[in-house]
Structure 1
Amino acid sequence: DREIDRFTKALLKAFLDERSTSLGCKQCSILAEEFKSMSVNERKGNTKKGRGRKKKPESEDGVLKTSTGYCFTHKRAGYFVSRARKACRLPFMIGAAPVCYGVPTGIRKKISV
């Protein structure tokens, strides 16, 4: 179904765009380098344009939690799922079907020891 494909493209594009901008954090910089090779090409046409202005992240200082070494300034997967619903033609039917199960919904790269 093209509707769920549209949802998935919007989800991945928003996620990769958010993660590709590092804020001075070492972990973010490593992930940004890996994400440069990934891209989601959207075809022109069937997608809705965003509504309103894009909000800036509340914290742009790259807060690094020293005990774990992870940066917590980026948004979690649940945020991107809710935003991708707007790309669907039927956001309350098809767009509401995908959900995030489990806690936490953060995506981190496992550090090799």
Structure 2
Amino acid sequence: AGEAPHAYRSMLAGGVNVALGTDSILCLDTPDRISTLDEMRLLRRRDGTDPVTLLAMATIHGARALGFDEGLVEFSPGPMLGVLAVDGAGDDPLDAALRGNAPPRWVAGPFPCPPDALR
């Protein structure tokens, strides 16, 4: 029999601050990549989770869980943690980026990292 689905959707509906992170390779369907983007893509593909909900779980919810100012992960005046871009074309670029498999690329922010660190 398989494992029961994670209860994150009912947790979100109950007001729990559910955030995505890269703390466990067990959460992914493949061992060769582990990133928050991979988790977002898995939840979109497997569960049909709304892309905007996934983006919030990967940004604002994570900042809140770590005690960071949510403004650090929003497009607003002031300091920011960084910006990654993912190719996505079509009427809904966020959904296209989550349904695709293009790697992210660093485009802005104070913490640049080597390009191969994003693969």
TM over 0.5: no
Higher helix proportion (structure 1 or 2): 2
| Structure with greater contact order relative to length (CA < 8 Å, sep ≥ 6) | 1
| Structure with bigger gyration radius | 1
TM-score with structure 2 length normalisation? 0.28
